[in-house]
Amino acid sequence: MRNMRHLLVLFFAVTAAAADRPNVLWFIVDDMSANFGCYGEKTVATPNVDRLAREGTRFSRAYVTAPVCSPCRSALVTGMYQTTIGAHHHRSGRGELKIRLPAEVVPTPKLFQNAGYYTCIGSGLPDLDFRGLPFGQPKGKKAKTSAAGRLGKTDYNFEWDPAIYDSHDWAGRKADQPFFMQVQLHGGKLREGTDAARAQFRERVKRELGAGTEPAKVSLPPYYPRDPVLLQDWADYLDAVRLTDLHVGRVLARLEKEGLLGSTLVIFMTDHGISHARGKQFLYEEGAHVPLVIRGPGVAAGQVRSDVVEHIDLAAVSLAAAGLGVPNWMQGKDVLAPTYVKREEAFSARDRCDETTEKIRSLRTDKFIYVRNYHPERPHLQPCAYKDGKQIVQRLRELHASGSLSELSEKLLFSPTRPREELYELASDPWQTRNLAGDPAHAAVLEEHRRRLDAKLAATKDPAPESEAMYDSDMKVYVAKGNPEVERNIAQMKKWAAEGK
């Protein structure tokens, strides 16, 4: 009887402690840069993300450690560099050969689950999906309406147990049980697809937002031509930003209605920048710089942080906020801790994306971005079925073929080779168009960044090149889909590798 009373006391003590802990909610958005009002976007209004910034802390220099979905998400959910855990190649470990996490590394949802949290991943709304559309509304294929079908995007490059998520929504938790929720949104992908899908998207924008963004009002990076196709695409992208902001507002309204907003740590972030020719998949600001806003108990309101932070820090911030502590194996840092020592650099890496082999590394410091290309003999826009299937890339290739692009566009997008090293000064060159690596006046800066990147690669155990066996294992999954373009690209990758390119 005494033992039973002791167990009951312990049970209620643990339950009470769990009930006192804050909920944690992540907004993770696909394919979107920091095009929000609080980050200086003037063309469209984003009142809900702006509200988070006003009521919380905004980070002006947050970066992903990988500018493409699956490596980024593998790093995010573990608080580890994707290069350290072997999850750095996009959509890897999907074939016969698998990738397993180091023994000590545990995905963040599992750590929350072990501590009594209800873990969920979905849209954050009971009646709308990751696109902000009613569940069951198809998009080119039969949409799933079951509870399992409502689980949000994971896209991890390692073997993991789906049981780390209890549900798609926090509604199923026990009374007073805190939750860890990942709200996964389609973001910039909302604008993509066939001409018919794009037309439907624009109709939806008119229906839900009143009117679409006028292409003529769009501002483009200087290396993209003001071509009607690109202007319309960017206008559609900004409307995807607006719809994303609308979804964020609906989730916040739900939290308020349920009396949960005050006890919930809310983090808003995207998984990399806009999907474009120099954005997604690449390490320039357009691809690696993301919005990051944190609001919740104990978080300073209206503060703007300009120190560099990495997206793997979200795991550490969240665990610390829940009172769970940060595991000593985790590379992410609790950037909100009073004892936190600000990072002096942010590290990012690009590796194989689908069938296209690549290796690029970058280091950002207070004033500069240093980029190292390991395959400088190859063009920037290597053959890639995913990228080449995009209307904007097809249009750029058409303009290149007709000789209609500017000298800057030709140099940055279509040069047959790339420099081995790139160095850009952020303040004077926000779009990274002037490479200072060959400038004698910046020789000392170049050498410093070269040395610091080498040290980072050693500290994070940067991996050896992907084995041919692993590449072939993953490519079997792609080839099985029956895309001749992918097969041609695989042959091209192997040819270049054999030539030492």
Structural tokens at position 261:
């907003």
The torsion of the CA quartet 132, 133, 134, 136, rounded to 10 degrees, works out to -120
Which pLDDT band holds residue 19 (cuts at 50, 70, 90)? Answer: low
HSE-up of residue 359 (Cα within 13 Å, Cβ side): 11
Residue 14 has pLDDT above 80, yes or no: no
Residue 137 has pLDDT above 50, yes or no: yes
Residue 11 has pLDDT above 90, yes or no: no
pLDDT score for 5: 45
Q: What angle do CA 370, 372, 374 make, to 5 degrees?
A: 175
Quick check: 331 and 77 in contact, CB under 8 A? no
Portion of the chain with pLDDT greater than 90, in percent: 93
Q: Give the tens place of pLDDT for each residue, 224-233.
A: 999 999 999 9
Residue 7 has pLDDT above 60, yes or no: no
Residue 34 has pLDDT above 80, yes or no: yes
Q: Report the C-alpha gap between 112 and 170 in whole angstroms.
A: 14
- Domain ranges within the chain, ordered by starting residue: 24-189+239-338, 360-498
Residue 457 has pLDDT above 90, yes or no: yes
Q: What's the fold here for domain 24-189+239-338?
A: Alkaline Phosphatase, subunit A (3.40.720)
Region of residue 132 (phi > 0: left; psi between -120 and 50: alpha; otherwise: beta) = left
Q: Give the tens place of pLDDT for each residue, 246-293.
A: 999 999 999 999 999 999 999 999 999 999 999 999 999 999 999 999
Question: What crossing angle do the helices spanning 228-257 and 391-401 adopt, rounded to 10°?
Answer: 160
pLDDT score for 142: 45
110-138 average pLDDT score: 94
Q: Is 407 exposed, middle or buried (0-12, 13-18, 19+ CB in 10 A)?
A: exposed
User: pTM score, two decimals?
Assistant: 0.94
pLDDT score for 144: 53
